[in-house]
Chains A and B, each alone.
Chain A
């Protein structure tokens, strides 16, 4: 902390390298990033498209409106001899135009937005359901029907470095504050439904690559869904997005996207590991994990991917 003065050349170079690498590797993101990720599903790309559509409309409107203002400011300077036309007080024609034109623009925005919104709410036909639970300050995942549960907390290296005046340079920690001990393993090319809830206070499960942000509310079960492109395997990172207390900034979300067959194999192994370790005491559905194996639960449901 006291040693490191940033920015320095080494880290600037590292940032640039990281930026270039980010174009190739799905997990990392560049420094000096300017825009949202298009994500890894058809729906996330659609939302990205909506975002860009809105952005370019705003840029276009800004050019016209700001252009008009700047022209007026320069053209009608008193110092340039401009004399005010004090009779110019209103004009029904232009007032109608600048009311109707925005209405038309808004309609052109609203139609694709409404279409996308309808799709985000359509989880029909999902082949796998995962229950997501927010805790202060970690995430629990349960593969509904297979009994496999995973408890996901901030990884040890980040956790040590984020202590007040820890003396550990965050730049030396890989994926500082964005890695967990047990990521959520999900299949690519499969429609997955998330059932999201909170245990203590409201959290929010946000995975930018999926364009999903849904609040995890005690007493409520919220629904979200995704279907990741079959070729987009890898690690993707997000964070809790609703202030949930002291360590709100320290409960990241990582998904580990695997091919459908790899995922099924992982789920089988996870179930076996669970069977070996024995069922936990009743009520203790999400014991703290030790080692890399996902923690088991008392459920005896089959581990195979349930067909919808």
Chain B
């Protein structure tokens, strides 16, 4: 509609009906590909902002003694690093990938709710401007940890209402994004694209979207109660007024644990796309993968208190949360075994997306192992709030979620740009990242076991050696990410060669039936049954 008028007004022969001018193309856009790009670019910027904070943290921790950060500033940096990376880098990256890929993989022309799509993205720059500007206000940026535990968080200065409003905005954005994904998947599938024919990436996003809708309002409620406790004299979390500071932790982690899976389920979906392509063999155990994902999502609602084994819960609660947490190992194991079995008797090649996916398999599993150890409540009394936990969640979030995102970008970038990227540079990025991410995070297991608490700006000299190793790993890992930007930039500006529509020899799925770059409006006509059957994973025909 708007696009046709627009194209008519221009005399150049733009077959794709792309709106011209920065404002119309990027600000008021309702195109899922443009909005996907906006999300991904925003996520990349936030990845570097959060990464810069991590570099400052690792620089201060390079050796014992306080070198250049005030402890309050250090606490602000750890808090903001987490908030920026979780809400600014990882989540928007997955929404960006969903925007790009879900319609293309379903044979749909766009997302179901394009204007809301625009709105849900454009909230984010405002939310993060608000959040990051707290560094400039009286009392500094929030320094009570991203978990915002009261009463400590109520000691925040002017930043408190700003941070809470920023969290509200991020939550609103996430909920809108999730509604859009669900409505799209439920209503916009091409005829013949049954639920159990959908690619695993779409499946994992469908389940993730339900998690988002279920828990983001819980977070909004929790932070609103903080707001009223601080400004309106309520005592939700104030023991002196009859409230309960531990209740905040229960509410927070009722959001927080599903949130962890919000950041990993789409990653599972990505890995389930990449491994079959480069093994030249359909995914092993498709149905089991779908059910395992759904089981993990269900379990995510009943394990939250394993984040708070040391708060002094009744024995029965501790037992329940220990056992329910251990159960997660079963569907997660099923997923890892299925990915491994997909490689079995395959014909495997090692292009950059596959390298990232394999790295994910190994390193996410290491995060899974430490997760299993952390589930054991008595042992958790030693691990809780130490660097062992820091190592654990960075293995699942950096080498899990972020590595999957990197794999996804290397996988679909030729489809987005129409160009192949520089494979050598991409492999350099992969190897540098993989070696040094382990130099960065593996020693943190040792530090935690040796007794180093997390969130401390300075430490005893016995922790000096591994901290220095970890910091060196951090600096090189951080610097390596510049290669990522260079590869993407080159690829977007011509790359090394033109991409074919299939791009990869073993790729299945509807997105690879479209030309590269994918036309601005794809699947304006739904793909035929033959295309769906040729394209969609062939699990069903053999199942």
Residues in chain A within 8 A of chain B (CB atoms): 1, 6-7, 15, 18, 28-37, 46-47, 50-51, 54-55, 58, 61-62, 65-66, 68-69, 72-73, 76-79, 82-90, 94-95, 98-99, 102-103, 106, 109-110, 113-114, 116-118, 120-121, 161-166, 168-171, 173, 175-178, 196, 200-202, 204, 206, 208, 211-215, 217-220, 222-223, 237-250
Q: Which residues of A contact B244 (CB under 8 A)?
A: 219
Q: Which residues of B contact A50 (CB under 8 A)?
A: 376, 378-379
Query: Looking at B240, B336, B343, B361, which has the most chain A CB atoms within 10 Å of its CB?
Result: B343
In the complex, A72→B345 CA distance in Å?
7
Q: Which residues of A contact B283 (CB under 8 A)?
A: 89
In the complex, A78→B345 CA distance in Å?
10
In the complex, A94→B370 CA distance in Å?
26
B97-118 vs A, Cβ < 8 Å mask (1 yes, 0 no): 0000000000000000000000
Knowing A6-B464, A175-B460, A178-B460 touch, does A243 contact B75 (C-beta < 8 A)? yes
Q: In the complex the two chains form, is A244's CB within 8 Å of B319's CB?
A: no
Q: Is the interface of B mostly helix, strand, loop or mixed?
A: helix
**A293 → B minimal CB distance (Å):** 27
Residues in chain B within 8 A of chain A (CB atoms): 63-72, 75, 143-145, 149, 151-152, 155, 239-240, 244-246, 279-288, 310-312, 315, 318-319, 322-323, 326-327, 329-330, 333-334, 336-337, 340-341, 343-349, 358, 361-362, 365-366, 369-370, 372-373, 376-379, 381-382, 384-386, 446, 449-451, 453-466, 468, 506, 538-539, 542-543
Q: In the complex the two chains form, is B347's CB within 8 Å of A76's CB?
A: yes
Number of A-B contacts (CB under 8 A): 312
In the complex, A79→B348 CA distance in Å?
8
In the complex, A238→B464 CA distance in Å?
16
Q: Which residues of A contact B461 (CB under 8 A)?
A: 31, 170-171, 173, 176
Apart from A106-B327, A169-B65, 12 more pairs, CB < 8 Å: A35-B446, A35-B450, A77-B349, A88-B281, A103-B330, A106-B326, A121-B318, A170-B65, A208-B382, A214-B312, A217-B246, A219-B240
Q: Which residues of A contact B539 (CB under 8 A)?
A: 89-90
In the complex, A162→B71 CA distance in Å?
10
Q: In the complex the two chains form, is B310's CB within 8 Å of A204's CB?
A: yes
> What are 21 inter-chain pairs, A to B, with CB distance below 8 A?
A31-B462, A32-B446, A50-B376, A68-B344, A82-B346, A84-B346, A88-B284, A90-B286, A98-B337, A99-B334, A117-B378, A164-B68, A176-B460, A177-B458, A213-B381, A223-B312, A240-B453, A241-B310, A241-B386, A243-B454, A246-B71
Q: Which residues of A contact B149 (CB under 8 A)?
A: 202, 242-243
**A13 → B minimal CB distance (Å):** 13
By beta carbon, the residue of chain B nearest A178 is B460
Closest 6 CB pairs of A and B: A219-B239, A249-B456, A222-B312, A33-B450, A58-B369, A85-B345
Q: In the complex the two chains form, is A164's CB within 8 Å of B378's CB?
A: no
Q: In the complex the two chains form, is B155's CB within 8 Å of A220's CB?
A: no
**A219 → B minimal CB distance (Å):** 2
In the complex, A36→B329 CA distance in Å?
24
Q: In the complex the two chains form, is B145's CB within 8 Å of A243's CB?
A: yes
Q: In the complex the two chains form, is B446's CB within 8 Å of A114's CB?
A: no
**A74 → B minimal CB distance (Å):** 9
By beta carbon, the residue of chain A nearest B248 is A202
Q: In the complex the two chains form, is B453's CB within 8 Å of A241's CB?
A: yes
By beta carbon, the residue of chain B nearest A208 is B451
In the complex, A109→B279 CA distance in Å?
35
